[in-house]
């Protein structure tokens, strides 16, 4: 190594300490070696693709410090090296100007596709690593393991996510978390991301929703520059931990699915970590008009698959208590007015009894009650039982708790992707038998209809036929865990939508 290059690089690193650069990025810069100094160009070397890209983004600041240290204008080059002496790709393949242009294109495309989308993320101290030309949202600083309320319904997923975050247990690769919307899947995924950024910034971790992933792929494939496609592939294959949320939204995007599983196979073969989340189990992702084939779903189910279930009363009480205490604490620390009231412990229990199962809605419910409690205290009164019951009725109207046969049939038809005429008709195709039996079983479980009434709603079937369907589901449930997951997911989706 050129000693002059190393001496100059050490001076630059000292100067960079005084610059406004995120800690994780500065650590990556310091990990680089000085590789050469020639005619006004300092060459540094890294073996991490993401570090190379991140350092390129800081080039103006680094070159300013470089000019100060050298007492003359200097240019920086960053080489990507797989091993000592083996340079793979210079940073000139994608210039800083191209990176900025690609980022603008991504931002504009997202605004067009999701004009009403609200960015709920908040910055954390550790700056997340950025794919070339891809706008990666930062992690939400409140979505941490410490702020996750664990109970029997989500404990397995909670423990598995922590194992992935600390990187010690390689048996948790891959990790697939599923459950209906609003139960905390995204919180766990973001907690993994937060933990790694704060505690192990040398591990490159990115979080993407399926919609983001599809957009990344589509934009790169529509770009005429081959370097853009190559950069996207290299960047996704350079991560240590890849997190994809709501992967069920990739079901109809065949090209994105192929690109994802190319990335999947590469990362798994190189010992990298993959975490996926969905509103259904891996086997259910391949049902209906899905582009996921059996090979895809089996690969997603090849690691640790855990389900988050709806919270019972005990977990809801713990959630409500935790939300209540944290809102008051956050309000005090951040000087937020209107959230400093006191809610009696008995009222918290009533709130748990009256609340639904969607954790996001429960959090909003607690905030509404806390704000009303503040208003009551200002006027010299106290929050009452009637107050919390009234707010609960607004969040979860009682009139919507009545489930109809029509709702069940529509849910089953959508889930299995079959027509209404086929569900209630006389065809006995093998692919129609399960949805028909399940629809009848759910109708018996979720409504007060008699067996005769159910038979009439399903094409005039007899009492004995309806009993056979119920028995068929009960018997298969004893032997087939995947089938049980399908039925429970369907039942959850029906009860959650009412």
pLDDT digits (tens, 9 = 90+) for 246-305: 999 998 888 999 999 999 999 999 999 999 999 888 888 887 678 888 889 889 988 899
User: Whole-model pTM?
Assistant: 0.60
Residue 122 confidence (pLDDT) above 70: no
Number of other residues whose CB lies within 10 A of the CB of residue 179:
24
pLDDT score at 401:
56
Digit-coded pLDDT (tens) for 58-100: 888 898 888 888 888 888 988 877 544 444 433 333 333 433 4
In the prediction, which pLDDT does 115 show?
A: 33
- Tokens 């009403």 map to which residue? 116
Tens digit of each residue's pLDDT (9 = 90 or more) over 433-453: 999 999 999 998 888 788 888
Mean pLDDT, residues 336-350 taken together: 90
State pLDDT tens for residues 203-257: 999 999 999 999 889 888 887 777 778 888 888 988 999 999 999 999 888 899 9
Rounded average pLDDT over 150-163: 90
Residue written as token pair 């091993």: 83
pLDDT of residue 106: 37
129: helix, strand or coil: coil
**Cα distance between residue 25 and residue 126, in whole Å:** 8
In angstroms, what CA-CA distances link 102 with 19, 59, 105, 223? 26, 17, 5, 10
What is the CB neighbour count within 10 angstroms for residue 173? Answer: 20
Residue 215 · residue 113 · CB < 8 Å: yes
**pLDDT exceeds cutoff 80 at 119:** no
- Residues 82 and 227: their CA atoms lie apart, in Å, by 19
* Least confident residue range of 124-128, 154-158, 483-487: 124-128
């Amino acid at each position: 190594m050129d000693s002059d290059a190393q001496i100059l690089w050490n001076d630059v690193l000292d100067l960079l300490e005084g610059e406004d650069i995120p800690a994780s990025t500065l650590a990556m810069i310091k990990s680089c070696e000085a590789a050469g100094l020639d005619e006004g160009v300092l060459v540094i070397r890294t073996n991490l693709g993401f570090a190379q890209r991140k350092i390129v983004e800081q080039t103006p600041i680094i070159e300013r410090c470089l000019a100060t240290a050298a007492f003359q204008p200097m240019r920086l080059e960053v080489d990507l090296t797989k091993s000592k002496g083996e340079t793979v790709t210079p940073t000139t393949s994608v210039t800083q100007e191209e990176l900025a242009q690609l980022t603008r294109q991504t931002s504009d495309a997202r605004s067009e596709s999701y004009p009403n989308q609200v960015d709920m993320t908040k910055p954390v101290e550790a700056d997340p690593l950025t794919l070339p030309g891809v706008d990666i949202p930062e992690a939400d600083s409140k979505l941490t393991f410490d702020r996750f309320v664990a109970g029997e319904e989500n404990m397995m997923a909670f423990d598995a996510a922590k194992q992935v975050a600390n990187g010690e247990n390689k048996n948790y690769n891959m990790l697939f978390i599923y459950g209906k919307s609003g139960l905390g899947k995204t919180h766990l995924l973001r907690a993994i991301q937060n933990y790694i950024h704060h505690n192990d910034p040398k591990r490159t971790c990115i979080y993407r929703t399926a919609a983001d992933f599809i957009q990344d792929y589509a934009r790169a494939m529509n770009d005429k520059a081959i370097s853009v496609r190559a950069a996207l592939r290299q960047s996704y294959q350079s991560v240590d931990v890849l997190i994809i949320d709501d992967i069920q939204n990739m079901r109809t995007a065949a090209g994105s699915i192929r690109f994802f599983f190319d990335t999947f196979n590469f990362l798994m073969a190189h010992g990298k970590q993959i975490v996926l989340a969905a509103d259904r189990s891996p086997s259910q992702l391949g049902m209906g008009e899905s582009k996921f084939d059996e090979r895809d779903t089996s690969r997603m189910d090849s690691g640790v698959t855990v389900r988050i279930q709806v919270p019972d009363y005990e977990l809801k009480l713990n959630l409500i208590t935790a939300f209540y205490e944290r809102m008051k604490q956050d309000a005090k620390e951040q000087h937020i007015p209107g959230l400093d009231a006191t809610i009696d412990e008995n009222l918290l229990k009533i709130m748990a009894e009256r609340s639904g199962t969607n954790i996001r809605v429960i959090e909003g419910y607690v905030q509404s009650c806390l704000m009303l409690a503040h208003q009551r205290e200002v006027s010299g009164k106290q929050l009452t039982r009637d107050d919390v019951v009234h707010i609960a009725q607004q969040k979860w109207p009682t009139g919507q708790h009545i489930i109809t046969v029509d709702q069940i049939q529509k849910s089953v038809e959508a889930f299995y992707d079959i027509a209404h005429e086929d569900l209630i008709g006389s065809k006995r195709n093998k692919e129609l038998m399960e949805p028909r039996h399940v629809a009848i079983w759910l109708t018996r479980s979720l409504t007060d209809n008699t067996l005769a009434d159910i038979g009439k709603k399903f094409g005039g079937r007899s009492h004995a036929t309806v009993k056979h369907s119920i028995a068929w589901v009960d018997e298969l449930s004893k032997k087939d865990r995947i089938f049980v997951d399908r039925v429970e997911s369907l039942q959850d989706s029906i009860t959650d939508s009412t």
